[in-house]
Structures are given as C-alpha cells and as structure tokens.
Amino acid sequence: MNPQFLLSKLKLLTLTIFTLVLSYGVQASHPSLVITQSDVLEMRKAVIEQGSFATAYGKLKAKVDLQMALPIEVPVPKDGGGGYTHERHKKNYQLMYDAGILFQLNQDKTYADYVRDMLLAYVQLYPTLDLHPARKVKSQNPGKLFWQSLNEAVWLVHTIQAYDLVYGALSAQDIDSIETKLLKPVALFLSQGQPSTFNKVHNHGTWATAGVGMAGYVMDEPEWVEKALYDLEKSGKGGFLRQLDELFSPQGYYNEGPYYQRYALLPFVTFAKAIDNNDPQRKIFEYRDGILLKAIDTTIQLSYDGLFFPINDAIKSKGIDTIELVHGVALAYSLTEDPGYLDIARHQDHIILSGDGLKVAQALDKGLAEPYQFESVAFGDGSDGKQGALVIMRSQLAGDQALLFKPAAQGLGHGHFDKLTWQFYDQGKEIVSDYGAARFLNVEAKFGGRYLPENESYAKQTVAHNTVVVDETSHFNGDVEVGNLNAPTLNYFDTNQFGTIANGDISSAYPGVKLERTLALINLAELEKTIVLDLFDVRASAEHQLDLPLHYLGQLIGTNFELSVNTEQLSALGSNNGYQHLWLKGRGQPEQGLAKVSWLNENGRFYTHTSLVKGNEEFLFTQIGANDPYFNLRNEQGFIRRVKDKKQHQFISILEPHGEYNPGKEYTLEAESKLTGLVHGEQGDLTLIKITMAGMPYLIVVNQSADASTQHSFQYQDKSLSVNGRLAVYALNNF
Amino acid sequence: MNPQFLLSKLKLLTLTIFTLVLSYGVQASHPSLVITQSDVLEMRKAVIEQGSFATAYGKLKAKVDLQMALPIEVPVPKDGGGGYTHERHKKNYQLMYDAGILFQLNQDKTYADYVRDMLLAYVQLYPTLDLHPARKVKSQNPGKLFWQSLNEAVWLVHTIQAYDLVYGALSAQDIDSIETKLLKPVALFLSQGQPSTFNKVHNHGTWATAGVGMAGYVMDEPEWVEKALYDLEKSGKGGFLRQLDELFSPQGYYNEGPYYQRYALLPFVTFAKAIDNNDPQRKIFEYRDGILLKAIDTTIQLSYDGLFFPINDAIKSKGIDTIELVHGVALAYSLTEDPGYLDIARHQDHIILSGDGLKVAQALDKGLAEPYQFESVAFGDGSDGKQGALVIMRSQLAGDQALLFKPAAQGLGHGHFDKLTWQFYDQGKEIVSDYGAARFLNVEAKFGGRYLPENESYAKQTVAHNTVVVDETSHFNGDVEVGNLNAPTLNYFDTNQFGTIANGDISSAYPGVKLERTLALINLAELEKTIVLDLFDVRASAEHQLDLPLHYLGQLIGTNFELSVNTEQLSALGSNNGYQHLWLKGRGQPEQGLAKVSWLNENGRFYTHTSLVKGNEEFLFTQIGANDPYFNLRNEQGFIRRVKDKKQHQFISILEPHGEYNPGKEYTLEAESKLTGLVHGEQGDLTLIKITMAGMPYLIVVNQSADASTQHSFQYQDKSLSVNGRLAVYALNNF
C-alpha cells in the first residue's frame, strides 16, 4: 500500500471514530459558527462601553441603518461581475451578515426581521432560477445567483452565518421555508451539484466546502460537514483538510502568491473557526503543525508598505487591510496574543464585530501593539515546501527596502512565466517592477471587468518580467501545465549582518538551457548604503539569443553610453510572446566596462543599474503599449539586455539606490552613481566581486559551494579572509 | 505733467523729507533687519520654555551643530547649478544665517565665531574672484560666487542678515575687513556693477535691491537704501517700490504665476520687514493698499491640496510648505492675526526662528488655528489688474474640486502660450492637466539641471495645453514679446449657489481669429455631483484647422465611438510647435451626438468627457514622447478634437467625475457616465444648456449679456424662470 492510501484509510478511521463519539458535534444552539453564544455575551458588554469595539459597532450600525431604510432588492440575476444584479447580491449577503451581527449585539428584532425578510425574498426567487444567464460558455462552475459558483459559495458562507445569527428570532414556519427552499438547495447545488468544484483542491473548493460545511453545522446535516472535510465521497482526496494539506507549503505559503493567498484565507479562517467552535476535539488550529496560523502570518510577510508583492495575477492595490486579512489577523491575535499582530490590526484600522475582533479591539485600546517584524525569509513552495521558493530580502539600513526573488513554482492558472524574476522596493515605492495582472476589476468597459486579453498576451509572458527570455519565447513555451510540473530549485538562502543572498536555478524552462541566478541585497555599512548584486548565469547546449529585461518605474535620467533613439517613429519590438506589446524606443551597445542606466523614481530617489559588459550586450529601451487597441496596458518603461548566438553568458550587475531629488525644497543630492569599479572573479567555489563605491573598495564574497555550513577561509591579496555561510562583505580600506 | 512724473516727483520729495527728519533711519544697533532686539528678547524666553518654538530651536541647533563639527568649506567657484561649489555656497549662506540666529538665541559665542570664520574665509576668497567660469556666454547677469548673479543676491540677502546677527561679537578689525573686502564689494557688484539687473522690475531685481538695501541698513550706507527703493538713479523708475507697484496686480497676483510668485515673495517679505523695522514711517505694509499681504494671501489661494497650480514654467511638486511661503505666512499672521494663516502654518509644519515665527508658534500651541478659506476668485492680471485674469473655481459638493481657467496675460519669459487654457483637480489629484515646466531642477545629467530644450519645444507650446490651436501654430506664433503685449479679456466672473462661471476672450492670439471660452464648475445639488461645462467659440475671418487638446492623467477606460488605433507603429503627430513631441496613438470620428471619452485617475475616480458633436470633429489620441532623444518628457496621454476648414466652430463639452474604482476593497461603483442628454441652445443673450444626468433633466442658464447686474427673467417651456447674475441651474423635475 502506498502512503497516500494509508493516509486516507487513517482519515476514514478517524472519521468513523468521530461519528461514533461526537455525534459530529452538530448542535442545535445558535449562533455557533464563527461567533458563539459566549462571544456574544462579551460583545454585548463591550458595545455599551467606550472603546474601539463600540466605535466599530456604531459605525456598522449607522451604515446598516442607512441601507435598511431602503427597500429590499433581490433582483433576478442578469449581470456578470461588476454589473448591477451581481453587485446587489454581493451587497445583500454582506447586509444580512451585518444585520445579523447587530441583532446579536443589540437584540433589536428589527435587524433580525430585516434578515428574515431578505431571506424570504430569496426563498421566493431561488427556486425559480436556472443557471445564470451570464455564465461562461462551457463553464464548469456556473452559479444561479451569480455568473460563477465561486460567488455563490461566498454568498452561502455569509448567508449561513447571517441565518445562524438570527435563527433564534425566526418562526418555525420561516425556518422551514428558508432551509428547504433556499439554504439546503444552495448547499446541495454547491456540493453534489458541482462535484468537480467541490472536490477540487483549489480556493474555489475551499469556499464551497466552507459554505456547505457551515450549512451542515447550522442545519444539522452532519454528513455535509464530513463531506466538506473529506470530499463528497469522504475519501480524503479532496475536501477542506486536503486543501490545508496541499494548498499551503509547510511554511504557509500559498502556491498562487499573496494576492490569491489573502483571498483564499477567508474561507479557511472562517470554516476553521466554525470547526473549532463546534468540534474542538478536531484541534483544527493545530492541524499540520498550525498551518493556518502560518498561512496568515506568511500573508503579512508577503507585503511591502501595506501592499502585497504583486507576483502572478495580482492587482497591485491589494494590501494587508483587505477584509480577509482583517479576519485572519483577528484570529492570529486571538490564538497567539502576539502584540505584533496588533501593529497590523492598527494599520488595517478595521475592527470586526466578533469574539476575536473584540480581543483585538480591547488590546489595541490598552496600547499593547508592538511593531510587527518583517523578515528576510525564503518561503518554500509546494505542499512539501520543496518546489522552489519565494524569497524576500529586507534591509532597513538605508530606508525601508525589500527585494523579492522568485525561484518559485508556476502557481497554477494564475501563475506567470517568470522563473527567477525579481522585484525591488525602496522608500515605499516599486523600483524594479512587475506588471502584475492586466485587469480592471469589475470595470465593465474593460472586458467585463475580467482578466484582459493582454493578461495572457503580455502580463503572463516572460518578457513582462525581470528574468531571462531565450529566443523570444516564454518559459515552458507558455504552457501552464508544463510549468506546474517543473519548479525551480532554491540552492541556498542565507541572511547575516552583510545582507541576504539566495541562489536558484531551473533547467526545465527551456530545453537544453540552465538558468541560474544569484541575488543579494547587500549592506555597505560604512557608507550607510545598500546595493543589489545580480549574477545571472545561462548555460545552454546550443546557441541562443538571450534577453534579460528590467522593468523600472520612473523617468530615465541617462545612460553612460550612446543611445540611438527612435524619435520619429516607433515599432513593436517583436510579434509574439509579449514582445508585440513593447515599443522599441531606442538601443545602445556599450563598450567593454561598466554600462550604466539611471532613473528617477517618484519617491525622489535615483537608481543606477550598472552592468559589467564585454561589448557584446545590446541594450534595448522599451515602453509597454504596442498592439493595445483598447489602451488596456500601462505605458511603463524598461530596458532589455540582449546577447546573441550564445551558449553561455553571465549577466553581472549591481543596482544602486542613491541621492535625492527634491524640487519642492529645491535641492538635488548625489544624482550620479558612486560605483566606479566592478570586477568579477572566481576562486574555487567562491565568487569574488570587487567593487569601488564612493571611492571605497569592497570585496563581496559569495560561497557557491554545495555545503556552506562551516566557515570557509581563503587568501585574497595576501590577506587571510573567511566567509561564514554564503555571504561576506569586506571593506578593503579597513585592513 | 503726466501723473507718472508727478508720482516720481512726489517720491523724491518724500525722500528728501526722510533724509532730513530720519537720517534714513539707519541705526548702529544690531540686529535690526528682519529680527530686532526686542524680538530677540522674546525669543530667548521662548526657547527655554516648552513649545513648538523651542522644538524648532532644538531641531535647528542639532542640524547646525552637525555641520559646525565639519571643517568650513569655501571653495573656489567652478560649478553651475546643482554642482558642488554652487550647492556649497548655497549651503554656506544658510548655515551662516542659521548659526547667527542660534547665537542670538543662546548667546553662545561658538556660533558667532563660526559665522565670523566663514565670513573671513569669504574675505580671503572674494577679492580674488573674476566672473564665474560657468556663467552663460553673453550673460547680462553673471555672478562671481555663482554662475548667475541671482544666486549672488540671494547669498547677500542671507549673509547680510547673518552678519547683522553676529555683529556684536565681532572685533573692529574683523568688521572692517568683512565690510570692506566682502560685503560692500558684493553689494556694489550687485548694484552699480549690474545696473540693468538692479534696476529691472523683475524678481531678479527684487533680490538685488533687497540684498543691497539691507546691506545699506546694516553698514550705514543710507544711499544704498534709497537706491534699493528707487533705483540706482533714485528715479523711481525701478527699485523695490516700483517692483511692488508693477509686479503684482491690485489683488496681489504675480504676473508669472504662483511658482514664481512664491519665489519672488521671499525678498519682498524680507526687505519689507527690514524696512518696517528700520523706517516704520514708510508704512511699507500699507503700501499700495497692503499689496504685500495680498500677495502672500494670493499665493496661498493659488494652491490645491498643498501644491501650487502649475501654470507657466512651474515644477509641480512645489507647494505651500515652501520656505518662502513659511516666511510669508509668518508675516501675514503677525500682521493680521487671522487664524486661517495658522491652518496653513500647521500644514507647513515649519516654525521659523524669528519674531513672527514666535507669534505663529505660540498661537499654534494655543490651538488657535481655524480652517483657511479657499475661495472661487478671479485674480486680475497685470499691474492694473486688467490684463485678463487667472480664475480659480472651487467646489466642496462632491469632494475637493478646483478648476483653473487662464484668460491671463503671458507672464513674461516664463509664460506659456496657453491663452484660455484650463486645468481640473479632484480628490487631491490633477485630472485635466498642464505639463508644467520641462525641467529636472539641479539634475546635472538633465541639461545641467536647467530648463530642458523640450521646455521651449513642447511645454510652452499651445498644444501642450488645453486650449485651441489654430493651424498647428502656437498663440502669438510663439513670440513672447507679442504675448506680453496682448492679454486676453476677462468678460465676466460670477459665483453663486449654482456654481462658478467665467468667460474670457482674446482676438490677438491669431490674426483674424477670436477665441472665446466660457467655463463653469456647476453644482447639481440633487445628485450631489459637480460637472464642468466648457463652451469654446472660435470665430475667424478665414478658414482654419482648429485643434482643442485635452491632456488627462489616468488610464483610458473607453470611448463610445470607434477608434482606429496604431497598434504596430507610431508616428509623430506633426513636425513643429510641440506637435513633433506627440505620438499619434489612434483616431476616431464620432457621429452626430454625444462623443464620450472616459478615463480612470489614480485617485480611483472615473472621469467622462462628453462632447456634443455634429460628425465633423475628429478625435486624435496622443501620447507625449516623440522626438525626445534623451527621454526628457513624461509620457502622458491626451486627445485632440480637430475640425478642418472652419471659419466658425463651437466646441461644447461637459466633464463629469463619477464613481469609484477600489480594487483593494474589490468594488467598482458607477464606472459609466450618467450623462445621457446634452442640448445647446440660445435665447437672446442667454445660453441654455439642457442636460440629462442620471435620468434627471437640468437646465443650465448662462447670461452672456454685456451687463448682468440685474435679475433677468425669461420664459422656458411655458415656465417663467430667471437668472440672477451669470449662472442659474434648474432641476426641471422639481417644477
């Protein structure tokens, strides 16, 4: 028997025991999902005292009161995302949930009646509905109230809680019709009505299982809870627990990246809380060594200046104040009482009206918050944590800086073909950027608010990222299935007083080509400066054209080599794989030595990218926007370093933040790069980079050996030096 | 005798009386310029108490102490703006001034000694200097320490104050060498050494007269004060008073616009304060009906969300926290005790260590600040206030909105060819934008930090603005001399509960062409919406091509008419007058009716521009950036409405802010324009605009008659209506 089979057997056994011992823990008392009766008692006390919880209550009440003054609208479904009926039904579940909470807190039956009336309106509507008219053709998961069942599951997650909250105020007759004509049919539609979605180990599956499982608790359908946990066949191959096993790495990183991680978080957090309240014996928060808490914490770590790192299909303005993470942080604080979470909660500035929300509010009121610690860390990818990694490097030496390095797995359908790409952030802004998703969420005029065609044709393509493109084709030839099967390898990650460094490689992005990159965020303590060191090695069995793009945000200040600029006419750089969307603005071929490109970011700082070139790298300057008939793309700038007919090439470069442009106060400091020397050498397994910065000679030592667990000593220019771990930096003047 | 002659006679007479009675008010006591001995006594008390003045003192002391720990550097002049010696000499005068203040406040002689040592270093250097090596060829006003004498005058304004502050601690010998070898030679160089600049009625002249006049007070050279006030010949044709007469309109508007107005302000404020302290009988603050106070107040009014409206050669990040206006606001508060100025001071967050600064600090500490009132106002232009006007319209109905309309005069050498242009601001952001100046201030790599060539070739040209271009040539054919002689006419300005409206025209921008524009910022109270109404009339004696550009900031969301987009290749739109810098991205020719263009600004709001067209207007979509070999321009978007072979045309349009895009919170509201009807008609002198907005019919009535001082009644669809003043808005449903 293979271990997988054993595991599922074991789960079935566990299940049987639960069945016998616990009667599934399903109880008739209400509310009993995320919010329990004892929570309610505490919260009722808090709303009549001064404090941020009472303030939040007052705000929500005012908002809901305004809405309740209007007639209830439960329209016949018609529109897709962003359209009126879509938005109305979304608003309705939120309203029912909020009114349900208010009823529990102030015991004013008006609120329960409002929820009841809306539920009864749905009771009238729902049985008349066929599949949604705006569903996608051949969709695997159409909804009835919404164009896709994902939204329907979200509706159920909220509505079942609202129902639970007002249950005590409903007549038996209303209970009967709400359950039999609305809630049970919705739960059945979302479970047995769409097995492929319900059983899928994917965030759509999480919403469905969360909704159905919670419906099981509330309406005394213990089988539904089991199915939610173990899949429709109770096989353990799908279901909520399998999702917890597979969707997160052991460190709590979610395969699709932070944008989807925070979205996926809400049903996990919600259903887990309901499980814990109903079946504490399942110890759901201890499951997989506390994976849920790790997932919440990782989501926070994957942010910069309040916004998530925009890898894969990410909309850039999404950040840690997102409602999903408000719930997540409340839970994390409730579980750990770690005061760092209060720092995040303070930034979120949103108290939720739940038992956990109350704990956060009271702790904030007591001033218990302490700074949350953002760290340099490599998040292993994949359910085993070994499908590459997403690496975050941070430094506070010269402003708040972060570097993201992505030797991470493909990340399923929302993943981008961007193996080994990087991003850089400084002083609150993106400097070396990632396009993110090409989408105007819910803006009907922009392709119905869905992902734009340019998301496929540009944003996902390799050239849209800061990593090597071979022969103008994307990684895995743009095939997501192949990508899902082939992750890069994280060879090492290390962080010490000199900075943070990581190395990753992948040999499957292109046949016969190995891509290997070392990236380091290095502290030059004496100068109170940080720099980024980037070594990108390409080794191939045949000759290729190699392009290494760098997308920067800002205005080009200048180059130290001549450019031939297309001033009268622009053409697209290529015809496929994203190249068709780049205007070629100019080109230059620097001579041997240091090739510099400088730009000025809106944060008022200058950035100079210096490449060590041998005269065979061409620099192509680009602007996004060609072949964009609907003006869907942002017209951002970049440059591509290109070499041709190469079996082997090493792109060596340093990014240097410097100076300040302050036209408001009329001063400009250090507008020019201070890097005057850059020499690359190797000595056994050591890579030695000698730089001269602001007149100071530095030696950067990278230990590339297979094992760097012990200190490594070596001779350099008659001096005995050593490197402990992967990285050392010597200020040579200090000898 | 003409009145001008009489006036100068009168001034000479006054002067003679002063000479006899006051001995010019020049006194031997120090300090006696901006800061007096009695100020010093109050300030000494304040720095040893708690409060924001003491905090500011502590901050300045820490900053200066750091600098004083370093060796004094007084380098031989070499670099132009932004270069090392330039910045060092700028830093030095500020340091001497600051150290001088600190000496007065804490009486620690170390600070006086530092100023003395630096002055003595200049005593060594200055006599050895010839004209600055980096001066412009054939420059009228080279400096010695700086490449232009403007900076040298600023140096003197600061240094003479520093000297005055430490005078009491200097030995007679040091006084002698500092005065005879440095300060007097500098003052002579800036006065008789460059008569054309000193006598010029221009901000360069103001700095020179301020520096020389203050030097006269401090070094007992009463003649210098007279020359500073009345010009080198004491004729009254130039000099400080003439500058007060001519550089500001009666409302205190400075001909070159707010960017230069705030710059010009500092020598006015500084010298005026010194005059008031030394010669109170001159009642300088009452001069020309309190023109200086008006100038300060107008500078504040010419800002939006803390930044100055960027008309003419303006760098956009300049705002009301600029040091010049910090001094201005301190003076304004000291003169008026108007608590609105404290609101501005609070925003500035910068307490200056002077007598006026102390008053502001103490008032802020007492919590006396009240909101400053930004108003809708037409600032008459020119010294008589009749050279057109700069019009600001504001509304708080639907967010903080401002509209700038510019039927203003050319504004000298920094003026743009943008007669009747407009700008629009909403929710803290520019929506309909002005390029401002093409310049990276002090960034050496960008054309030495000076105005870029693209400032002439693009930023100043008419097509870079939001106003009509005839036959692809700029206003006045781009001739600033012609522009300076021909101002537009402000025909009316009115503001009432319905909104704010103004009309201006000009017949001299193009021979045989009259341009007339009516702009209104209109409140639709019932909908809690505002809209902009724009009626642009062109009447010519011959047929012309007429272009009306609109430069918007944001991403194009869509048009309601078909576009033919250049997807594979872009070409420049034209070859001259700024057109060579615009890429033509696409074009469309909407049919008769409403032509809509929508965009999304980074503030998260949508904007729809609706034109009433007859099928003969073409829309050309552009992006800035063609013929830009050094990547000097920002790549912003716009569209140009074009009609050909027209003797007469009216561009009729409405700008409508609407909705909200919030991908962070995942909602999108009202992404589509609600304007469904727009009918334009005339009834005698009345322009009647009927619109339908969100299903609500409105009638907008504009009284275009020569005199609208009385109420005007009229019949409309069997109803008796009236308009009081220029503008009325009727919600037709309300009848």
What would the mean pLDDT of A669-687 be, rounded to a whole number? 95
A residues 604-623 near B, CB within 8 Å?
Answer: 621, 623
Q: What pLDDT is attached to residue A435?
A: 98
CB contact under 8 A, B629 and A322: no
Q: What pLDDT is attached to residue B218?
A: 97
pLDDT per residue as tens digits for the range B217-255: 999 999 999 999 999 999 999 999 999 999 999 999 998
Q: Are residues B475 and B545 in the same domain?
A: yes
- Confidence grade of residue A694 (pLDDT, cut at 50, 70, 90): very high
CB contact under 8 A, A317 and B567: no
Q: What pLDDT is attached to residue A13?
A: 47
What would the mean pLDDT of B406-430 be, rounded to a whole number? 96
Minimal C-alpha gap between A217 and chain B (Å): 29
Report helix angle A355-365 to A52-68, nearest 10: 130
For chain A, give the percent of residues with pLDDT over 70.
96
Q: Quote ipTM for the complex.
A: 0.88
A residues 556-575 near B, CB within 8 Å?
Answer: 556-558, 563, 565, 567-572
CB contact under 8 A, B600 and A443: yes
Mutation choice for B interface testing from A88, A95, A557 by most B CBs within 10 A:
A557
What would the mean pLDDT of B151-164 be, rounded to a whole number? 97
Among A203-207, A637-641, B77-81, name the most confident range.
A637-641
B648 located within any domain:
yes
Q: Which SS3 state, helix, strand or coil, does residue A541 take? A: strand
**A contacts of B672 (beta carbons < 8 Å):** 444-445
Q: Are residues B32 and B140 in the same domain?
A: yes
Mutation choice for B interface testing from A666, A669, A670 by most B CBs within 10 A:
A666
Give how many domains chain B has, as a whole number.
2
A542 located within any domain:
yes
CA–CA separation, B421 and B411 (whole Å) = 14
Beta-carbon contacts of B161 under 8 Å, excluding residues fewer than 6 positions away, are B31, B33, B34, B35, B97, B100, B214, B270
Through-space distance between the first and last CA atoms of chain A, rounded to whole angstroms: 63
- Domain end among B326, B343, B365: B365
User: Structural domain of residue A592, as residue ranges?
Assistant: 381-734
**B contacts of A668 (beta carbons < 8 Å):** 82, 440-443, 449
- Confidence grade of residue B26 (pLDDT, cut at 50, 70, 90): very low
Helix (H) or strand (E) holding B323: helix B323-336
Minimal C-alpha gap between B310 and chain A (Å): 12
Residue of A315, A441, A568 with shortest CB distance to B572? A568
B12 located within any domain:
no
What would the mean pLDDT of B256-271 be, rounded to a whole number? 92
CA–CA separation, A370 and A384 (whole Å) = 33
CA–CA separation, A30 and A622 (whole Å) = 61
Mutation choice for A interface testing from B63, B303, B452, B555 by most A CBs within 10 A:
B555
Let me know how many helices (H) and strands (E) chain A has, helices first: 19, 28
Q: What pLDDT is attached to residue A733?
A: 82
CB contact under 8 A, B441 and A663: yes
A149 located within any domain:
no
Q: Which residue, B361, B419, B433, is CA-closest to B389?
A: B419
The pair of three-digit structure tokens given for residue B392, joined into one six-digit string:
């600001």
Q: Are residues B211 and B68 in the same domain?
A: yes
**A contacts of B449 (beta carbons < 8 Å):** 668
For chain B, give the percent of residues with pLDDT over 90.
88
B residues 503-532 near A, CB within 8 Å?
Answer: none
Ramachandran angles phi, psi of B634, nearest 5°? -80, 140
B710 located within any domain:
yes
The mean pLDDT value of chain B amounts to: 94
Ramachandran angles phi, psi of A426, nearest 5°? -155, 140
- Domain end among B339, B365, B391: B365
CA–CA separation, B89 and B80 (whole Å) = 11
Q: Are residues B291 and B388 in the same domain?
A: no
- Confidence grade of residue B710 (pLDDT, cut at 50, 70, 90): confident
pLDDT above 50 for B544: yes
Q: What pLDDT is attached to residue B255?
A: 86
Active site residues of B: 260, 414
CA atoms within 13 A on the CB side of A588: 20
Any chain B CB within 8 A of the CB of A628? yes
Q: Are residues B297 and B158 in the same domain?
A: yes
pLDDT per residue as tens digits for the range A162-184: 999 999 999 999 999 999 999 99
- Least confident range of A212-216, A262-266, A620-624, B330-334: A262-266
Q: Is A138 exposed, middle or buried (0-12, 13-18, 19+ CB in 10 A)?
A: exposed
A292 located within any domain:
no
What would the mean pLDDT of A380-395 be, rounded to a whole number? 96
Mutation choice for B interface testing from A435, A570, A608 by most B CBs within 10 A:
A570
Helix (H) or strand (E) holding B245: helix B240-246
B629 located within any domain:
yes
Q: What pLDDT is attached to residue A136?
A: 85
What would the mean pLDDT of A415-419 be, rounded to a whole number? 97
What would the mean pLDDT of B327-345 be, rounded to a whole number? 98
- Confidence grade of residue A11 (pLDDT, cut at 50, 70, 90): low
What would the mean pLDDT of A412-424 be, rounded to a whole number? 96
- Domain end among B365, B394, B429: B365
Q: Are residues B439 and B327 in the same domain?
A: no
**B contacts of A322 (beta carbons < 8 Å):** 664-665
Comparing alpha-carbon positions, the chain A residue that sits nearest to B564 is A629
Beta-carbon contacts of A578 under 8 Å, excluding residues fewer than 6 positions away, are A457, A458, A461, A462, A463, A464, A474
- Confidence grade of residue A735 (pLDDT, cut at 50, 70, 90): low
CATH of the domain at B390: 2.70.98.70
CB contact under 8 A, A629 and B563: yes
Residue of A443, A634, A663 with shortest CB distance to B671? A443
Residue that has been written with the tokens 């109404």 in this structure? B533
The mean pLDDT value of chain A amounts to: 94
Angle at A394 between CA A393 and CA A400, to 5 degrees: 150
Through-space distance between the first and last CA atoms of chain B, rounded to whole angstroms: 63
Ramachandran angles phi, psi of A562, nearest 5°? -70, 140
Q: Are residues B339 and B418 in the same domain?
A: no
B301 located within any domain:
yes
- Confidence grade of residue A3 (pLDDT, cut at 50, 70, 90): very low
Any chain B CB within 8 A of the CB of A23? no
pLDDT per residue as tens digits for the range A700-715: 999 999 888 888 999 9
Q: What pLDDT is attached to residue A22?
A: 38
Active site residue A89: no
CB contact under 8 A, B663 and A441: yes
DSSP A495-539: EETTEEEEEEEEEEEETTEEEEEEEEEEEEGGGTEEEEEEEEEEE
Cα–Cα distances in angstroms (integers) from residue A121 to residues A72, A127, A155, A177, A676, in the given order: 8, 11, 15, 11, 73
Q: What pLDDT is attached to residue B22?
A: 38
pLDDT per residue as tens digits for the range B595-615: 999 999 999 999 999 999 999
For residues B401 and B530, the answer to whether their CB atoms sit within 8 Å is: yes
